[in-house]
C-alpha cells in the first residue's frame, strides 16, 4: 500500500548518490581529507535517517492489525513501453528492507570513519571515498527496490562498485586480476538472474514485488501448471534467480571470486565482502521468499542444500589458510551458506517461519561481527604490514584494544552466549532440526569448525610467540578504534533484538525462545572447537604440523581450496577456449574477415580500373559532354518525330 | 526593313556562332582563347533571345532583358575566369589547359 508519510526515505539513497557525485566530480580539486569527511558526514545523515525509519516502522506505525505492512513510500514511472510493460522506480518498505537499511548504514558509517585513518596515506583517497558512496547508494537502492527490474539495475551497480573497489590498487596486477575475476564470475551468474527475471515476469505478468509476492494473488498460481523437464516453469525461473543470488553471495561453485576479492583495501572487504553486498543474494531470496515457499518448495530446499554444503566446504578450507583475510573470506562464505540453509528449511506461517527469521537475524548479527573482524584484521595488517599469520604473533601486548575487539568478534561468530552469534545460529540450527536432520548435522559440524578456525586465527595473531617486526607494532589511532568499539558493542547486544517479533515471512510476529536442547550441544561443540584451537595454537608447538600431516590428502586438498580454481582454469582454458573460442576465432578471422576484405578489394580493383576517366583534361570532359548532349538531342528529335 | 530579313537568317547566324564557340572550346589549348569561345557561345544565345522576342512577341521586352542579363553575367564570369587564369599562370607558368591537370583522380 502507498504510504506518503514515509516518502522521506527516498532521500536515503539520494543523499549518498549526491555525495558520490560531489566527491567524484570534485576529485582532484577537493583536498583528500575534505572529501573523506564530506562522505562521512553524508553517511552520518543517512544513518540517522535509516535509524529513524527503522524506529518508526518497527515501533510506531509499521504494524497494523497484528502484522507488518508493506509500504510503497515512493513510486515513479521510469520507462513505459506498453500498457502492460512498464518499469517503475520506487521505494518499498517492509521488515527486511528496513532492517537492511540499518545494517548497511551502520557498517558503511563505521567503514567511512575507520577509513579516514586507515587510508590516510594512500593514493586515491578521494576516489576511494567517492566509490564508497557509490557502493552505499547502490546497496541502499538494491534493498529499497520496489520491483524486480529495479533490483537488477542496482544489483549490477553494486557489482560495478565492488569491481572498482577491489581494483583500488590498480597498479598491482593481482588486484586487477581479482577485480576482473569478481566481475566476470558475478556477471556470469547474473546472466541466470536475468533469464530468471524474464521468465518470472513473463509468468506473473508484472515486475512488481508486491504483486509477485502477494500470497493470495494470482501471480503465484500461474506458472506452476506448465512443466519443463520435470519441474514447473516457476521452479525453473526461481532456480535461475537463485543462480544470480548464488553468484553474489559466493555459493559453491561460484564462490571463487570472494577469496580473491580480498585484494581490495580491508575496509572495503569489511563493507562489501562481509557485511552487505555478499548478503544481497540472501536478501534476494528473502525478498522473493513467499514465491519460493508457496510456489516452488523444490527450489527452496535446493537452496538449503547448496547453502549448507557451501557452508561446510568453506569452513573446511578456512581451517587451512594462512592469509588472515582469506580465512575471514572463507568464514564469510560459510556463514552466508548458513543463512541460505536457514532460508531453505523455512516454512511460511507462524513458528514454521523460524528459518527465515533466523536467516535474517544471522544476516544482521553476522554483518556486525564480521565487519568487526575484518576491521580488526585491517588494524593488525596496518600494524605489521603483512597478511600472513605466520608473520604475526604475540600482538596482544601491543594492541590491547584490537585484541579485545577481535576476541569479541571470535566469540560472537563461534556462538558463545550471550554474544549475538549464539542467538542467531541457535535459531538456524533449530529450524534445520525441525525440517531436515541431515542439514542439521552438517550445520552443527560447521558450528564446531567455525569456533576452531576463528580461534586458530585469534591465537595465531594475538598469542603464539613474538615475531621479528621491522618496527614495533602499535595500537591504531582513535578513528579506527572507535569503529572497532562501536561494532564490538553491536556484536554483543544485537543478539538480544527480538527478531521473531520483527521479521517474519508472513509479516506476523511470533514468539521464539532459546531452544536449550539445541543450544547446549551447540555451545558444547563451540567450546570443543575453541579448546582444540587453544591447545594447538596458543603456544608455538609442532602440533599443527603433525595434525596437518595426519590429515594428509584432505589437508592438502583443503589447503589448495579443493582445486576449484584449477578446475575453472581447466574448463575455461582447455575446454571452452580450445574447443569453442578457438574455432570461433578461426571462423571470425578466416571466414568473416575474408568476406569483408574481399568486398573491399573488389571495390579497390574497380575504382583503380576506372579512375583514368577522371584525367584532369578539361577539354576531354567538355568533349564527352558535348557528344552526350548531341546524342540526347538527336535521340529526342528521332523519338519525337517517330 | 526588318521584314526583309527572315528569322531563319538570324538563327543560322547564331547557330554558326554557337558551334564555332564549341569548336574553339574543344580544340584550342590556350585558356584565354577558350574563354573567348565561351563568349561566342553566350552571344549566340543572346542573338536567339533578341530575335525570338522581336519576331514573335514584339510588344514584350523579356527577351531583351534576358540578353542584358546574360551580358552582365558574362562580364562577371570573365572577371572570375581571368583571375583564375592569372593565379594558375603564377603557379605553373603557363596557360595551356593540358598542363593544368593537377586535380585528376
> Could you tell me which residues come within 8 angstroms of residue A372 by beta carbon, excluding any fewer than 6 positions away?
A405, A406, A408, A409, A412, A484, A487, A488, A490, A491
Instruction: Compute the average pLDDT of residues A559-568.
Output: 84
Inter-chain contact A617–B103, Cβ cutoff 8 Å? no
Inter-chain contact B100–A616, Cβ cutoff 8 Å? yes
pTM of the model: 0.80
The beta-carbon neighbor of A616 closest among B27, B34, B101 is B101
Inter-chain contact B103–A616, Cβ cutoff 8 Å? yes
**Quick one: pLDDT band at residue A578, thresholds 50, 70, 90?**
confident
Could you say which residues from 592 to 631 on chain A have a Cβ atom under 8 Å away from some Cβ of chain B?
611, 614-619, 622-623, 626
Q: Can you say whether the dihedral through the CA atoms of A91, A93, A99, A102 is positive or negative? A: positive
B102 neighbourhood in chain A, CB within 8 Å = 616
What pLDDT sits at residue A437?
Answer: 86
What pLDDT sits at residue A195?
Answer: 92
DSSP of B64-80, one letter per residue?
HHHHHHHHHHHHHHHHH
The beta-carbon neighbor of A615 closest among B25, B26, B101 is B101
- Closest chain B residue by Cα to residue A619: B26
The beta-carbon neighbor of A614 closest among B97, B100, B105 is B105
- Closest chain B residue by Cα to residue A625: B26
Residue A434 to residue A132: CA distance in whole angstroms: 41
Inter-chain contact B26–A617, Cβ cutoff 8 Å? no
B27 neighbourhood in chain A, CB within 8 Å = 619
Dihedral angle of Cα A243, A192, A150, A25, to the nearest 10 degrees: 90
A623 neighbourhood in chain B, CB within 8 Å = 26
**Quick one: pLDDT band at residue A230, thresholds 50, 70, 90?**
low
Determine the residue among A607, A614, A618 to mutate to test chain B binding: the one whose Cβ has the most chain B Cβ atoms within 10 Å.
A618
A619 neighbourhood in chain B, CB within 8 Å = 25-27, 29, 34, 97-98
- Per residue in A426-477, pLDDT tens? 889 888 888 888 899 999 999 999 999 999 999 888 887 777 777 778 888 8
B25 neighbourhood in chain A, CB within 8 Å = 619, 622
Q: Are A347 and A323 in contact (CB under 8 A)?
A: no
- Per residue in B2-18, pLDDT tens? 667 888 899 999 999 99
A614 neighbourhood in chain B, CB within 8 Å = 104-105
- Closest chain B residue by Cα to residue A610: B105
| ipTM of the complex as predicted | 0.86
What pLDDT sits at residue A229?
Answer: 67
> Could you tell me which residues come within 8 angstroms of residue A221 by beta carbon, excluding any fewer than 6 positions away?
A295
The beta-carbon neighbor of B26 closest among A615, A616, A622 is A622
Q: Are A375 and A111 in contact (CB under 8 A)?
A: yes
Task: Give the residue with greater pLDDT, A589 vs A615.
Answer: A589
Report domain extents, chain B. 7-92
Q: Please give the class, per CATH, of domain B7-92.
A: mainly alpha
What pLDDT sits at residue A225?
Answer: 61
> Could you tell me which residues come within 8 angstroms of residue A37 by beta carbon, excluding any fewer than 6 positions away?
A116
A617 neighbourhood in chain B, CB within 8 Å = 97-98, 101, 104
- Per residue in B13-40, pLDDT tens? 999 999 999 999 999 999 999 999 999 9
Question: Please, what is the average pLDDT of chain B?
Answer: 90
- Per residue in A191-203, pLDDT tens? 999 999 988 888 8
The beta-carbon neighbor of A616 closest among B29, B34, B104 is B104
User: Is residue A223 pLDDT above 90, yes or no?
Assistant: no
The beta-carbon neighbor of B98 closest among A617, A622, A623 is A617
A92: phi > 0 → left, psi -120 to 50 → alpha, else beta; which?
Answer: beta
Provide, rounded to the nearest whole percent, the portion of chain A with pLDDT above 70. Answer: 97
DSSP of A160-208, one letter per residue?
HHHHHHHTTSTTSHHHHHHHHHHHHHHHHHHHHHHHHHHHHHHHHS--B
What is the distance in angstroms between the Cα of B72 and the nearest Cα belonging to chain A? Answer: 24
Determine the residue among B18, B19, B26 to mutate to test chain A binding: the one whose Cβ has the most chain A Cβ atoms within 10 Å.
B26
User: Is residue A415 pLDDT above 90, yes or no?
Assistant: no
Inter-chain contact B104–A618, Cβ cutoff 8 Å? no
What pLDDT sits at residue A548?
Answer: 81
CA-wise closest residue to A300 among A353, A365, A248, A361: A353
Residue A515 to residue A433: CA distance in whole angstroms: 11
What is the distance in angstroms between the Cα of A595 and the nearest Cα belonging to chain B? Answer: 27
Residue A112 to residue A106: CA distance in whole angstroms: 10
What is the distance in angstroms between the Cα of B101 and the nearest Cα belonging to chain A? Answer: 4
- Closest chain B residue by Cα to residue A618: B97
A61: phi > 0 → left, psi -120 to 50 → alpha, else beta; which?
Answer: alpha
Instruction: Compute the average pLDDT of residues A353-377.
Output: 91
Amino acid at each position: 500500500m502507498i504510504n506518503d508519510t514515509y516518502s522521506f526515505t527516498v532521500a536515503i539513497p539520494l543523499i549518498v548518490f549526491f555525495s558520490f557525485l560531489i566527491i567524484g566530480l570534485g576529485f582532484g580539486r577537493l583536498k583528500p581529507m575534505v572529501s573523506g569527511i564530506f562522505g562521512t558526514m553524508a553517511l552520518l545523515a543517512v544513518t540517522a535517517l535509516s535509524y529513524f525509519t527503522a524506529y518508526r516502522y518497527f515501533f510506531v506505525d509499521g504494524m497494523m492489525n497484528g502484522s507488518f505492512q508493506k509500504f510503497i513510500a515512493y513510486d515513479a514511472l521510469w520507462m513505459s513501453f506498453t500498457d502492460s510493460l512498464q518499469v517503475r522506480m520506487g521505494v518499498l518498505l517492509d521488515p527486511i528492507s528496513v532492517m537492511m537499511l540499518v545494517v548497511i548504514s551502520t557498517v558503511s558509517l563505521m567503514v567511512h570513519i575507520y577509513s579516514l585513518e586507515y587510508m590516510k596515506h594512500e593514493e586515491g583517497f578521494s576516489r576511494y571515498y567517492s566509490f564508497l558512496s557509490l557502493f552505499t547508494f547502490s546497496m541502499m537502492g538494491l534493498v529499497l527496490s520496489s520491483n524486480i527490474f529495479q533490483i537488477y539495475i542496482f544489483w549490477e551497480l553494486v557489482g560495478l562498485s565492488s569491481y572498482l573497489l577491489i581494483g583500488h590498487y590498480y597498479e598491482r596486477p593481482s588486484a586487477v586480476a581479482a577485480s576482473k575475476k569478481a566481475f566476470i564470475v558475478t556477471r556470469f551468474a547474473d546472466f541466470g538472474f536475468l533469464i530468471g527475471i524474464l521468465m518470472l515476469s513473463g509468468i506473473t505478468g508484472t515486475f512488481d514485488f508486491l504483486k509477485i509476492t502477494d500470497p493470495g494473488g494470482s501471480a503465484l498460481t500461474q506458472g506452476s501448471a506448465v512443466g519443463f523437464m520435470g519441474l514447473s516453469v516457476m521452479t525453473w525461473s526461481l532456480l535461475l534467480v537463485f543462480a544470480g543470488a548464488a553468484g553474489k553471495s559466493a555459493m559453491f561453485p561460484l564462490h571463487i571470486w570472494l577469496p580473491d576479492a580480498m585484494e581490495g583495501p580491508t575496509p572495503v572487504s569489511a563493507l562489501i565482502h562481509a557485511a552487505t553486498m555478499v548478503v544481497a543474494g540472501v536478501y534476494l531470496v528473502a525478498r522473493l521468499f513467499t514465491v519460493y515457499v508457496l510456489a516452488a518448495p523444490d527450489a527452496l530446499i535446493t537452496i538449503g542444500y547448496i547453502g549448507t554444503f557451501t557452508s561446510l566446504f568453506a569452513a573446511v578450507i578456512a581451517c587451512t589458510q594462512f592469509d588472515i583475510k582469506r580465512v575471514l573470506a572463507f568464514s564469510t562464505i560459510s556463514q552466508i551458506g548458513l543463512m541460505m540453509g536457514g532460508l531453505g528449511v523455512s516454512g511460511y506461517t507462524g513458528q514454521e517461519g523460524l528459518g527465515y527469521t533466523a536467516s535474517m537475524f544471522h544476516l544482521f548479527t553476522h554483518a556486525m561481527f564480521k565487519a568487526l573482524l575484518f576491521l580488526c584484521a585491517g588494524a593488525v595488517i596496518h600494524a605489521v604490514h603483512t597478511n600472513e599469520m605466520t608473520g604475526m604473533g604475540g600482538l596482544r601486548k601491543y594492541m590491547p584494544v584490537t585484541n579485545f575487539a577481535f576476541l569479541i568478534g571470535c566469540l560472537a561468530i563461534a556462538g558463545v552466549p550471550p554474544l549475538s552469534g549464539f542467538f542467531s545460529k541457535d535459531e538456524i540450527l533449530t529450524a534445520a532440526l525441525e525440517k531436515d536432520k541431515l542439514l542439521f548435522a552438517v550445520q552443527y559440524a560447521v558450528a564446531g569448525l567455525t569456533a576452531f578456525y576463528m580461534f586458530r586465527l585469534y591465537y595465531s595473531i594475538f598469542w603464539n610467540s613474538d615475531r621479528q617486526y621491522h618496527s614495533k607494532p602499535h595500537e591504531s589511532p582513535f578513528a579506527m578504534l572507535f569503529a572497532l568499539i562501536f561494532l564490538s558493542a553491536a556484536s554483543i547486544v544485537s543478539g538480544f533484538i527480538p527478531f521473531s517479533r520483527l521479521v517474519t515471512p508472513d509479516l506476523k510476529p511470533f514468539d521464539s525462545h532459546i531452544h536449550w536442547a539445541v543450544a547446549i550441544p551447540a555451545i558444547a561443540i563451540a567450546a570443543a572447537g575453541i579448546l582444540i584451537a587453544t591447545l594447538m595454537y596458543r603456544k608455538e608447538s609442532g602440533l599443527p604440523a603433525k595434525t596437518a600431516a595426519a590429515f594428509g590428502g584432505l589437508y592438502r586438498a583443503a589447503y589448495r581450496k579443493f582445486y576449484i580454481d584449477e578446475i575453472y582454469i581447466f574448463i575455461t582454458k582447455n575446454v571452452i577456449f580450445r574447443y569453442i573460442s578457438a574455432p570461433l576465432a578461426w571462423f571470425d578471422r578466416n571466414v568473416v574477415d575474408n568476406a569483408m576484405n574481399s568486398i573491399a578489394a573488389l571495390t579497390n580493383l574497380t575504382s583503380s580500373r576506372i579512375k583514368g576517366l577522371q584525367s584532369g583534361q578539361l577539354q576531354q570532359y567538355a568533349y564527352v559532354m558535348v557528344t552526350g548532349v548531341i546524342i540526347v538531342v538527336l535521340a529526342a528529335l528521332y523519338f519525337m518525330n517517330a | 526593313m526588318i521584314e526583309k530579313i527572315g528569322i531563319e537568317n538570324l538563327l543560322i547566324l547564331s547557330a554558326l556562332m554557337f558551334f564555332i564557340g564549341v569548336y574553339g572550346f574543344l580544340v584550342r589549348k590556350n585558356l584565354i582563347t577558350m574563354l573567348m569561345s565561351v563568349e561566342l557561345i553566350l552571344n549566340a544565345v543572346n542573338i536567339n533571345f533578341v530575335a525570338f522576342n522581336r519576331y514573335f512577341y514584339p510588344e514584350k521586352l523579356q527577351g531583351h532583358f534576358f540578353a542584358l542579363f546574360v551580358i552582365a553575367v558574362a562580364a562577371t564570369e570573365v572577371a572570375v575566369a581571368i583571375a583564375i587564369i592569372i593565379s594558375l599562370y603564377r603557379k605553373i607558368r603557363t596557360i595551356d589547359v593540358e598542363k593544368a591537370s593537377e586535380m585528376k583522380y
